Amino acid sequence: MSPGHIALPADMPAPETGGCLATRQILDRIGDKWSLYIVAMLAHGPRRFNELKRGIDGISQRMLTLTLRGLERDGLVTRTMYPTIPPRVDYELTDMGQTLLTPVMALVNWANDNQAAIADARQRFDDKPEPDQVLIQGVVYERR
Amino acid sequence: MSPGHIALPADMPAPETGGCLATRQILDRIGDKWSLYIVAMLAHGPRRFNELKRGIDGISQRMLTLTLRGLERDGLVTRTMYPTIPPRVDYELTDMGQTLLTPVMALVNWANDNQAAIADARQRFDDKPEPDQVLIQGVVYERR
DNA sequence: CCGTATCCCCGAGGATACTG
DNA sequence: CAGTATCCTCGGGGATACGG
């Protein structure tokens, strides 16, 4: 059993098929700092390198290149070079990249719908005072 | 404009509502190394601490505690202590935690359906030989 | 049984400078 | 314009030991 492997509940894809490893993979891809922003920018058609750079606030040249390479490697994005002067490179979602948009949007929408509830929960959790006493192994401990 | 802010495409939730920040938040939560495994384990009812620990291969005591605290803080999981001897603590998905299951499963299923295609794409990308020559600014450069 | 406290390592990612 | 190359920082997360 590999590290990080878990016994998945019945309604998850069979673990033997590598379902949870596949999930880890795609989560490592879209869970990183920039991939989703890039995918979002490419959702409505091809974009050039600097077009992406300008559209994604805060991203460095380095991370844009690196993330695009990763997406390209995984077959989610295509890279097309035009040997013009000055050079021009277009990035575009592949068909697979397009299909990823559906589950990703479901997550984005969930996040959007529940952000207030999460913020509230955090507030309550953080504001919660330490209990005056705790009961451990049948013994009461008071706070001083 | 905050760092990491992007202009979202039209079909994404309005950025002004914090849609992309909310997405960042939820992605930071479920995108980490263990949260999904825990949520998966809790999908079919409450589980005890060590039950989770045994079920999730490779997780350390520390990370289980930390991740559970994070999930609890965000209102996705409840923690219930029973002051018995020995002590017993149950963790359970909240209603909000349950609703998260839907978009997450969509992603898990996508990962499952496309893992082969991704593996293939990677193979092709990694096997791709360096081009014998490149054309830059209208000039041919040969490889040595 | 259910945690904290410490120490430590490694890699994601930022800043900056240079290049075809 | 579209990248590399280099250096450096910072925090997620592992290992281990201890505590109620």
**A6 class by beta-carbon count within 10 Å (0-12 exposed, 13-18 middle, 19+ buried):** buried
Please name the member of A26, A56, A118 whose beta carbon is closest to the beta carbon of B111. Answer: A26
pLDDT, tens digit, for every residue of A23-55? 999 999 999 999 999 999 999 999 999 999 999
Return the residue of B nearest to A19 by Cα. B112
Q: Copy the structure tokens of residue B103.
A: 């978009």
Length of chain B: 144
Q: What is the pLDDT along chain B (144 residues), one digit of tens a residue?
A: 333 333 344 455 544 455 688 999 999 999 999 999 999 999 999 999 999 999 999 999 999 999 999 999 999 999 999 989 889 999 999 999 999 999 999 999 999 999 999 999 999 999 987 766 666 555 666 665
- Contact between A72 and B118 under an 8 Å Cβ cutoff? The reply is no
Asked if A107's CB is within 8 angstroms of B55's CB, the reply is no
Q: Which residues of A15-38 are buried (b: 16+ CB within 10 A; e: fewer)?
A: eeebbbebbbbbbebbbeebbbbb
Rounded CA separation B143/B35 (Å): 47
CA dist B32 → A24, B24, B25, B120 (Å): 10, 12, 11, 25
* DSSP letter assigned to residue A139: E
| A contact residues 22-81, partner B, Cβ 8 Å cutoff | 22-23, 25-27, 30-33, 36-37, 40-41, 43-44, 55-58, 72-75
Rounded CA separation A99/A86 (Å): 33
Which residue shows structure tokens 């844009």? A64
Q: Copy the structure tokens of residue B10.
A: 């039209």
Q: What is the pLDDT of residue B128?
A: 84
What is the 3 state secondary structure string of A86-102? CCEEEEEECHHHHHHHH
